[in-house]
Chains A and B, each alone.
Chain A
Amino acid sequence: MTLHEFLYYFVMPVLSLSVIFIVIRFLKGPSIVDRVIALDLIITTGIGFIGAYAILNNKPSLLDVAMILALIAFLSTVAFSYYIQKRNNK
Chain B
Amino acid sequence: MTDLIVGILAFFGTIFIFLAAVGLLRMPDTYLRISVTTKAATLGIGLLLVAAAVYFKDLSITTRVMAILLFILLTAPVSAHLIGRTSYFSGIRLWKGSVMDDLEGKYQRISGVLKSETDDTPEDNIVHDKDK
Which chain A residues have a beta carbon within 8 Å of chain B's beta carbons?
2-3, 6-7, 10-11, 14-15, 17-19, 21-22, 24-25, 31, 33-34, 36-38, 40-41, 44-45, 47-48, 51-52, 54-55, 60, 63-64, 66-67, 70-71, 73-74, 77-78, 80-82, 84-85, 88-89
- Contact string, B94-111, partner A, CB cutoff 8 A, digits 1/0? 000000000000000000
Find chain A residues with CB under 8 A from B30 CB: 31, 33-34, 37
Give the interface size class of chain B.
35 or more
How many Å lie between the Cα of A7 and that of B14 in the bound state?
10
Question: A62: nearest residue on chain B (CB-CB)?
Answer: B52
Which chain B residues have a beta carbon within 8 Å of chain A's beta carbons?
3, 6-7, 10-11, 13-15, 17-18, 20-22, 24-25, 30, 33-34, 37, 41-42, 44-45, 48-49, 51-52, 55-56, 58, 61, 64-65, 67-68, 71-72, 75, 78-79, 82-83, 85-87, 89-92, 112
Summarize B's interface: helix, strand, loop or mixed. Answer: helix
Question: A45: nearest residue on chain B (CB-CB)?
Answer: B17
Closest Cβ–Cβ distance, residue B83 to chain A (whole Å) = 5
How many Å lie between the Cα of A70 and that of B109 in the bound state?
34
Closest Cβ–Cβ distance, residue A63 to chain B (whole Å) = 5
In contact, A63 and B52 (Cβ under 8 angstroms)? yes
